[in-house]
Structure 1
Amino acid sequence: MDVILAAVIFAVSYLFIMTEKINRAVVALAGGTLLLLTGIYRVNDVFLHYVDWNTIALLFSMMVLISITEKTGLFSFIAIRFAQQVRGAPIPLMAGLCVLTAIGSALLDNVTTVLILVPIVLKITRQLQLPVFPYLLAVIFSSNLGGTATLIGDPPNIMIGQAVDHLTFLSFINHLAPIAGIMFITMLAILLPLFRKTLKSSASNKQKLMEMDASTYLVRSPMLYQSITVLIMTLTGFIFQTFLHIDLTVIALSGAVLLLLLSEGELSTEQVFSQVEWVTLFFFIGLFALVGGLEEVGIIDELARAIVLWTDGDYAATAILILWISGLFSGIVDNIPFVAAMIPVIEEFESYGMVYLDPIWWSLALGACMGGNATLIGASANVVVAGLAEGDGQKIPFLRFMLYGVPFVLLSLAIATIYLYIRYLIPYMG
């Protein structure tokens, strides 16, 4: 009975999130509350086991950093200068944003990258009077593809890297960066021609842009230099996190608290907190609670274990099935809990005679990271982008995003299947 109840509550909640008739944070929290009222799990289970507070704290910390830095005009300055470099041309602008997003997501992490870049995208598109949806779509795709390439780029990769000792930072680059690069080029080849006709900016808007003095937007006060210094320190900490042995969340939280202390004289904490995207944070909490209900009744775990039965232990079939199951499932729920459920299952594959598990780990990483592009709640970065856009009055329609996201994910998984076969499965089976 609990299984049916949890599945129904999740399905109904997901339907309301898709239709966008009610605020998505309210829907997710309502679904989690129903799971509590029906006794699927207890309050302690939700707050101690299912809500990923590391993710919540990381998001909150970066929102604080970005909120304070935003007040200095730094992002406006960067936005105008960047747009002027491409002379306001919409297509080069999109290509440039995609490259910046992908590189940032690989070297930092995709959530941090979109928190920095999305406010810039919103400012540029408003200045040039361009439709913002194509740019936000491109940023989301680029963030997830860039995050696929490295150990620290996307939460699923971090989790896999922590679970498998011999998969190092360089291992992820060696094995996942090539396919991430192939998919990034494929994405540009699809999106740039697709939106070429709809992305038009008038000559007058471009002229106004070129005549703007970006430096006038900078508020040259101590807070500007404090913000830049702390932001650089935080991002440097992310890059060298594996050497520092300090958790990403701790680095972000330290940066946020330090900047709050330094800027208190110019900007009150109340003002900073009022700019935090609380709707996005509470949506995450509700989403974790919803998926936690599926975990509590064993739905996710049973799905994972069924893979072994479906493939009858066949090595190649198992690797490909994990790729597609994780890819498709990550589009429906956030990829973090699915990967958490899959890790112990893959570890058990050794008892079925599978000694060399690396290709299966890469299958899980590729499926989870690339599958996140399917829907607005498929990956953490997607939710953050949607929250920032909504806060700026530029809501991303859930179903419209799916019209682009689902076909792109299916194409990504098809190309990843070919990559896995050529690089791992054919040599192994040969």
Structure 2
Amino acid sequence: MSVQIVLALAVFVGAYVLIATEKVPRVTASLGGAAAMILIGATDDHGIFFSEDSGIDWNVIFLLLGMMIIVGILRQTGLFEFLAIWAAKKARGRPYAIMVMLVVITAVLSAFLDNVTTVLLVAPVTLLVCGRLAVPSAPFLIAEVMASNIGGTATLIGDPPNIIIASRGGLTFNDFIVNLAPLIAVLLLVFIVLCRLLFRSAFRYQPERAARIMALKEREAIAEKALLVKCLVVLGLVLFGFIAHPLTGLAPAIVAMLGAGLLVMLARLEPQKVFGDVEWETLVFFAGLFIMVGSLVNLGVIAAVGQTAAAIVGTDYGLAAIWLTVVSAVASGVIDNIPYVATLAPITDDLVRAGGAAAQPLWWALALGADLGGNATAVGASANVVVIGIAKRHGEPITFWTFTKYGLIVMPVTIAIAVLYLWMRYFI
């Protein structure tokens, strides 16, 4: 092992420890780690800005930016207040019923939208509902982001890693539905039960607050009806653009930026109202994280780990599926699952080509491990980072360990069920 690789690993681990312990702001740790990678020669300007393998994933950055702009304008209409009151009234002010409702909505939306887009839409509603009921928002936000990672696993477009897997493996939208959706339905039910146990301290029912909520009229919350119509039309076009990707060939980031540009022109709002809700710190944090992980990709560290795992399992594809699911889950809890899958997809492709139909389930193992493993820690998936940024912005910060202590329960449970599913469906 070269000195450069040792230094790169030390930088990555050091930055991750700083992020996990929150000794310094996470964006400082991320950018500091990125700068250190550049100084030791682990990457360069071309690798950072132009390489598809080891650079910043601009598709993720601009998808986030576009959707943040759209959501920021949509917030001016009062729609989130309307949905907050409606949801609270339907659940009759009972916190657990509200959490179940929001979890199911989030999981279903995440199957047909990018999970980052979904949490950007649902999080503001959650903050308003929790404010009305005087209950802590952190358990609700954590439950929703975990539901988005679970629900997004079901379809090709639900989670960015699935798009990478589909492209590399030549898989269709229907392939994902047939092979993964049945399992995800079961996992969602299991997760709802876990929520009742994990977050029970947050379910404080206060009859007087519930009664006040039941007396509210949700329609009075809509402040800008004309702007709301414009927002819903543009949002509908953006969602159609996401779903129609196989026909149009337009990347989700392009669709989001086109929608944001159109809505900015139609809304004619002041710049502060348009761009004030953009989580700039989150975008910069992602950029630094991509640079650090890309440096390990550039040095061949991640590929070497994957190749070693492949050599261990040989042609026992049942064992390979289990290993790939578990290793992907653990790895995706440490590094963002997008660059991880981008690195492992070529290795998985080689195994599938060598093994034929018997090795085809390895694609589902990679998808399940990477997507569900993202629930393990606060930095395991893009949606996690975005929700933590939103919570901090609204004065209700979620620490790394607050998220992770729940993730380290949810992830092993869902992965264990996923492994059992793979084994029973494809290898018995």
Q: Name the TM-score class by shorter chain.
A: over 0.9
The answer to whether the Cα contact below 8 Å between 1:129 and 1:201 also exists between their aligned partners in 2 is no
| Aligned counterpart in structure 1 of residue 87 of structure 2, from 50, 71, 82 | 82
Range moving further from structure 2, 108-117 or 236-245: 236-245
1:106-117 to 2 correspondences below 5 Å: 106-117=111-122
Aligned to 1:213: 217
1:236-251 to 2 correspondences below 5 Å: 236-251=240-255
Unaligned runs of at least 5 residues, structure 1: none
Aligned to 1:318: 320
Distance 1:423 1:158 in 2: 23
Deviations 1:282-307 (A, max 9, x none): 11111101111211211101011001
SS of the residue aligned with 1:394? Answer: coil
Aligned to 2:264: 260
Using the TM superposition, give the Cα deviation of residue 137 of structure 1 relative to its aligned residue in structure 2, in angstroms.
1.6
Distance 1:308 1:354 in 2: 16
Verify: 1:158 aligned to 2:160, yes or no.
Answer: no
- Figure out how many residues of one structure are paired with residues of the other and give that number: 423
Verify: 1:223 aligned to 2:224, yes or no.
Answer: no
Aligned to 1:338: 340
Aligned to 2:75: 70
Aligned to 1:185: 189
SS of the residue aligned with 1:175? Answer: helix
Aligned to 1:45: 47
Which AA in structure 2 matches 1:250?
Answer: I
Deviations 1:158-189 (A, max 9, x none): 11111122x21011011011111111111111
The answer to whether the Cα contact below 8 Å between 2:139 and 2:202 also exists between their aligned partners in 1 is no
| Aligned counterpart in structure 2 of residue 31 of structure 1, from 21, 30, 33 | 33
SS of the residue aligned with 1:331? Answer: helix
Using the TM superposition, give the Cα deviation of residue 7 of structure 1 relative to its aligned residue in structure 2, in angstroms.
0.5
Aligned to 2:12: 10
Aligned to 1:137: 142
Aligned to 1:172: 176
CA RMSD in angstroms, aligned pairs only = 1.4
Q: 1:204 to 1:324 in 2, by over 3 A?
A: same
Using the TM superposition, give the Cα deviation of residue 229 of structure 1 relative to its aligned residue in structure 2, in angstroms.
1.5
Q: Percent identity?
A: 39
SS of the residue aligned with 1:349? Answer: helix
Range moving further from structure 2, 218-227 or 314-323: 218-227
Deviations 1:107-153 (A, max 9, x none): 11211110000010011001110111211121011100100000000
The answer to whether the Cα contact below 8 Å between 2:92 and 2:214 also exists between their aligned partners in 1 is yes
The answer to whether the Cα contact below 8 Å between 1:131 and 1:199 also exists between their aligned partners in 2 is no
The answer to whether the Cα contact below 8 Å between 1:140 and 1:381 also exists between their aligned partners in 2 is yes
Using the TM superposition, give the Cα deviation of residue 354 of structure 1 relative to its aligned residue in structure 2, in angstroms.
5.0
| Aligned counterpart in structure 1 of residue 423 of structure 2, from 414, 421, 424 | 421
Distance 2:310 2:231 in 1: 51
Which AA in structure 2 matches 1:235?
Answer: L
Using the TM superposition, give the Cα deviation of residue 314 of structure 1 relative to its aligned residue in structure 2, in angstroms.
2.0
Distance 1:399 1:193 in 2: 18
Deviations 1:29-73 (A, max 9, x none): 110011111221112211112100000000000000000010111
Deviations 1:315-344 (A, max 9, x none): 221111111111110000000111111111
SS of the residue aligned with 2:288? Answer: helix
1:363-402 to 2 correspondences below 5 Å: 363-402=365-404
SS of the residue aligned with 2:398? Answer: coil
Aligned to 2:361: 359
TM-score normalised by L of structure 2:
0.96
Distance 2:298 2:21 in 1: 26
The answer to whether the Cα contact below 8 Å between 2:333 and 2:380 also exists between their aligned partners in 1 is yes
Q: Which runs of 4+ in 1 moved over 4 A?
A: 350-355
Using the TM superposition, give the Cα deviation of residue 201 of structure 1 relative to its aligned residue in structure 2, in angstroms.
3.2
SS of the residue aligned with 2:376? Answer: coil
Aligned to 1:125: 130
Unaligned runs of at least 5 residues, structure 2: none
